[in-house]
């Protein structure tokens, strides 16, 4: 079975909610939409206090090419445009909407009928995806239309669909593949058409045999789509690792991007969003969110309207346990610890993970014993111990030379370290500094 070639670890999978069908979550009383919930320029509000909006009404325009529009997920009145602390922990401008009823925009096709045919030209598909505010649903939230517009000199050769879901605990993509199989496959066909290729691979790890089987069976009816079972290994869902696993090509060090080796990578959730945007005229305003944790009464997968507070999801999964130590937006390997459970669900919210105080605490670090295990597991072929130590000493020249910018922050090094050293904390510090140094240097040129 295929997998990526360098490094990798096997965290405990803990897919507690894998058997739980997607349920629709109740509407919130107030929905909050941060204006920057994607990579790139923040969106620009086009509503003001007191405006009435429907489900699917555009409330903020894309703030540039690398940006995405934001749509209301509820009907009601704009309460205010203020700021809110989002999952990143920073306070950001946001639109607050008080919910009244559930009235949808007329243009949205709300039926469950599968629409297979699409007569649109590639450019029109990309435009429609852009107009629907679709971004990468795997967590990075990179605007999808940008990825579908290869820079000059680059040509796409294939579309790679990420159904890996290598983060422990998360099952949103898994459930989506089981319950929205045809919709995803049509979405993949649209993506192939958008970048003018006739080959797509869907990578799924072998711990989801039901999804592999179902997708393989149904993909037979679509031309050029191949399901590729992958050996379970973290971080296979990393874009570069997935490309390596499936087509045996390695994206060179930054600033190279996947399109440089001919690949366009999209998440299964994104493929589904593309289907809804193009075939159903439904902009991106809801998504599947896994709510999970060993201490939760009922780990679940919810179809959630954007802007819903995380606390409402946790309540629907049995409520926040008394001994909760940490609440994570995303999975345990790369997710962000939330300072409060009031943060709203955004386009990139794949999961909410609740950890008990005991699970949440880090062990005290011990001296590095130079066991080299971090070097062995680094999927980018770096030397995490060296990057961490040099970053701690502020040797920015050295860490840049040692390719710190190639780090994908997967956390495999720290996960493996017998001495419990907080390597990634220091590497992030180094990346931040070196990134700044590189930008300054390029600006001077």
Tell me how far, at minimum, the Cβ of 401 lies from other proteins, in Å.
10
Minimum CB distance to other proteins, residue 320 (Å): 7
Q: What is the CA radius of gyration of the chain?
A: 21
Contacts of 160 (CB under 8 A, 6+ apart): 200, 201, 203, 242, 243, 246, 247, 263, 264, 265, 266
Restricting to residues 403-442, which ones interact with other proteins according to CB under 8 A?
403, 406, 409, 411, 414-420, 422, 424-425, 428
- CB of 313: closest distance to other proteins in angstroms? 15
Measured in Å, how far apart are the chain's first and last C-alpha atoms?
47
CB 29 → other proteins: shortest distance, Å?
18
Q: How does strand 44-45 pair with strand 22-24?
A: unpaired
Binding mask 136-175 for other proteins (x = CB under 8 A): --------------------------------x-------
Toward other proteins, which CB reaches closer, 42 or 411? 411
Backbone phi and psi for residue 324, each to the nearest 5 degrees, phi listed first: -65, 130
Nearer to other proteins, 52 or 253 (CB): 253
- Provide, rounded to whole angstroms, the least separation between the CB of residue 114 and other proteins: 38
Residue 98 forms beta bridges with which residues?
A: 30, 77
Binding flag, residue 192, other proteins (CB under 8 A): no
Phi-psi region of 89 (alpha: psi -120 to 50; beta: other; left: phi over 0): left
Which range binds other proteins by CB under 8 A, 59-67, 94-102, 328-336, 391-399?
328-336
Contact 201, 188 (CB under 8 A): no
Interacting residues with other proteins between 10 and 69 (CB under 8 A)? 11-12
The answer to whether the CB of 264 falls within 8 A of the CB of 129 is: no
CB of 120 or CB of 360, closer to other proteins? 360
CB of residue 365 vs other proteins: minimum separation in angstroms?
11
Q: 268-279 and 181-194 helices cross at what angle (nearest 10)? A: 80
Looking at beta carbons only, is 192 or 251 nearer to other proteins? Answer: 251
Angle at 44 between CA 39 and CA 47, to 5 degrees: 135
Restricted to residues 254-293, the positions that interact with other proteins (CB under 8 A) are: 256, 261
| Closest to other proteins by CB, 85 or 214 | 85
Closest to 182 (Cα-Cα) out of 136, 222, 210? 222
Least distance from other proteins to the Cβ atom of residue 222, Å: 27
Nearer to other proteins, 101 or 418 (CB): 418
Q: Among positive and negative, which fits the CA dihedral 177, 182, 183, 186?
A: positive
CB nearer to other proteins: pick between 33 and 415: 415
CB of 324 to other proteins, least distance (A): 7
Strand positions, DSSP E, 293-444: 300-305, 324-329, 336-337, 351-356
* Alpha-helical runs (H) found in 280-331: 310-316
By CB under 8 A, which span of 23-31, 48-56, 70-78, 332-340 interacts with other proteins?
332-340
| Cβ nearer to other proteins, comparing 121 with 372 | 372
The distance of closest approach from Cβ of residue 258 to other proteins in the complex, given in angstroms and rounded to an integer, is: 11
Q: Which of 214, 316, 360, 392 binds other proteins (CB under 8 A)?
A: 360
Q: Does 199 bind other proteins (CB under 8 A)?
A: no
What is the distance between the alpha carbons of residues 323 and 356, in angstroms, rounded to a whole number?
6
Length of the chain: 445
Residue with smaller CB distance to other proteins, 56 or 335:
335
- CA-to-CA distance for 68 and 129, rounded, in angstroms? 10
* Residue 354 in tokens: 């609740």
Q: Count the residues of the shown chain that bind other proteins, applying the rule CB under 8 A.
A: 76
| Dist CA 121 CA 326 (whole Å) | 47
Q: How far is the CB of 239 from other proteins (least distance, A)?
A: 12
Q: Which of 325, 392, 433, 438 binds other proteins (CB under 8 A)?
A: 325
**In the chain, what is the greatest distance between 2 CA atoms, to the nearest angstrom?**
64
Binding status of residue 324 toward other proteins by CB under 8 A:
yes
Binding to other proteins (CB under 8 A) within 70-99 occurs at 89
The smaller minimum CB distance to other proteins, of residues 143 and 330, is found at 330
The answer for 27, left when phi > 0, alpha when psi is -120 to 50, beta otherwise, is beta
User: Which residues between 362 and 391 bind other proteins (CB under 8 A)?
Assistant: 362-363, 366-373, 375-376, 378-383, 385-386
Nearest to 281, CA basis, from 289, 293, 273 = 273
How is residue 150 written in tokens?
Answer: 């290869």
Q: Which residues between 220 and 259 bind other proteins (CB under 8 A)?
A: 240, 244, 248-253, 256
Among 372, 370, 331, 376, which residue's Cα sits nearest to residue 8?
376
Contact with other proteins (CB under 8 A) among 31, 74, 327, 390: 327
Which listed range, 31-39, 70-78, 150-158, 402-410, lies at the site for other proteins (CB under 8 A)?
Answer: 402-410
């Amino acid at each position: 079975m295929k997998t990526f070639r360098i490094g990798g670890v096997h965290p405990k999978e803990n897919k507690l909610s894998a058997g739980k069908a997607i349920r629709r979550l109740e509407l919130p009383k107030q929905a909050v939409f941060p204006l920057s919930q994607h990579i790139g320029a923040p969106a620009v509000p086009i509503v003001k206090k007191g405006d009435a909006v429907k489900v699917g009404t555009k409330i903020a325009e894309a703030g540039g090419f690398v940006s995405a529009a934001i749509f209301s997920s509820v009907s009601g009145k704009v309460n205010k445009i203020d700021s809110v602390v989002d999952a990143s922990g920073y306070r950001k401008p946001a639109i607050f909407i008080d919910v009244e009823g559930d009235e949808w925009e007329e243009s949205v096709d709300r039926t469950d009928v599968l629409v297979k045919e699409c007569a649109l030209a590639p450019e029109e598909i990309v435009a429609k995806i852009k107009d629907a505010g679709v971004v990468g649903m795997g967590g990075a939230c990179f605007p999808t239309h940008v990825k579908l517009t290869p820079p000059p000199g680059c040509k796409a050769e294939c579309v790679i669909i990420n159904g890996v879901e290598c983060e422990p605990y998360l099952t949103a993509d898994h459930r989506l593949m089981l319950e929205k199989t045809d919709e995803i496959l049509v979405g993949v066909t649209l993506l192939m058409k958008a970048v003018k290729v006739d080959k797509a691979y869907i990578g799924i790890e072998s711990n989801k045999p039901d999804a592999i089987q179902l997708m393989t069976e149904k993909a037979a009816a679509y031309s050029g789509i191949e399901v590729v079972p992958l050996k379970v290994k973290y971080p296979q869902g990393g874009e570069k690792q997935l490309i390596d696993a499936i087509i045996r090509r390695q994206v060179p060090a930054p600033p190279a991007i996947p399109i440089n080796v001919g690949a366009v990578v999209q998440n299964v959730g994104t493929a589904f969003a593309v289907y809804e945007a193009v075939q159903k005229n439904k902009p991106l305003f809801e998504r599947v969110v896994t709510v999970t944790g060993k201490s939760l009464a009922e780990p679940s997968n919810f179809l959630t309207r954007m802007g819903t507070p995380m606390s409402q999801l946790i309540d629907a999964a049995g409520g926040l346990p008394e001994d909760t130590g940490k609440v994570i937006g995303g999975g345990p390997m790369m997710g962000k610890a939330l300072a409060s459970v009031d943060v709203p669900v955004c386009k990139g919210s794949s999961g909410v993970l609740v950890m008990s105080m005991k699970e949440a605490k880090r062990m005290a670090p011990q001296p590095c014993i130079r066991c080299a295990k971090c070097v062995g597991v680094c999927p980018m072929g770096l030397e995490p111990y060296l990057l961490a130590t040099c970053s701690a000493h502020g040797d920015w020249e050295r860490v840049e030379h040692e390719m710190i910018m190639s780090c994908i922050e997967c956390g495999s090094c720290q996960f493996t370290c017998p001495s419990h050293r907080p390597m990634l904390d220091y590497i992030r510090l180094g990346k931040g500094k070196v990134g700044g140094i590189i930008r300054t240097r390029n600006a001077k040129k």
